[in-house]
Chain A
Amino acid sequence: AQSVTQLGSHVSVSEGALVLLRCNYSSSVPPYLFWYVQYPNQGLQLLLKYTTGATLVKGINGFEAEFKKSETSFHLTKPSAHMSDAAEYFCAVSDRSSASKIIFGSGTRLSIRP
């Protein structure tokens, strides 16, 4: 069975600084990997996904993530944080044999300091 571990339940960075949110996964088969963002009082919104092909994937709002099979990681980065990036971020994994079922990590709350 697949699983996701997000390191750090809360990350705080200064505005303009690099954002790095860590995600490690466990899957018995090549996974589909996702990052979602949740703003207060809203549902989750897909930021980016890796399914196949290029291991560096770019998403909305300047975020990107790199699939590293050898490290079983899919860390999310953004070169320069903006105040509007403050939200909860969820990493997720889908085992391709599970008929579209996605398993979510516990989430990382990102705070931005002025």
Chain B
Amino acid sequence: DAGVIQSPRHEVTEMGQEVTLRCKPISGHNSLFWYRQTMMRGLELLIYFNNNVPIDDSGMPEDRFSAKMPNASFSTLKIQPSEPRDSAVYFCASTEGAGDYGYTFGSGTRLTVV
């Protein structure tokens, strides 16, 4: 298995533009997580899905952020409009079972909003 695949690896965009981050989880994993990592705030859980259904989106910072999982093999995280404070590394992770397997993380998308 190729692991969790995220695209793009790097994204530079101007303030106000829409940004879409993509994630393909490991086949057979039933839970998917989106995290944001910054120096100031560390790793923050934004939202997670179980069997394609959003379970907890309490970490989504504001309405500018939205996430979807239309099927078991694809998820997107969208920021519209983007702001400089959204600059961070965004990670996607997936797992199977009830949490005892741990997560497999993607390599992340480094987002820079100028």
Residues of chain A whose beta carbon lies under 8 Å from any beta carbon of chain B:
32, 34, 36, 42-46, 49, 51, 90, 94, 96, 98-104, 106-107
A49 touches B102 (CB 8 A): yes
B42 touches A43 (CB 8 A): no
Chain B residues near A107: list those with CB within 8 A.
42-43
Distance A36 CA – B108 CA, assembled complex (angstroms) = 15
B106 touches A100 (CB 8 A): no
Residue B1, interface by CB 8 Å: no
Measured as residues with beta carbon below 8 angstroms from the partner, the interface class of chain B is 20 to 34
B48 touches A101 (CB 8 A): yes
A43 touches B97 (CB 8 A): no
Residues of chain B whose beta carbon lies under 8 Å from any beta carbon of chain A:
4, 31, 33, 42-43, 45, 48, 50, 55-56, 91, 93, 95, 97-100, 102-108
Chain B, residue nearest A52 (CB): B100
Distance A34 CA – B97 CA, assembled complex (angstroms) = 15
**Given known A-B contacts A42-B107, A100-B31, A100-B50, A94 and B42 have beta carbons under 8 A apart:** no
B91 touches A102 (CB 8 A): no
Distance A1 CA – B11 CA, assembled complex (angstroms) = 35
Chain B residues near A32: list those with CB within 8 A.
99-100
B106 touches A102 (CB 8 A): no
A99 touches B50 (CB 8 A): yes
Distance A44 CA – B50 CA, assembled complex (angstroms) = 20
Distance A27 CA – B98 CA, assembled complex (angstroms) = 16
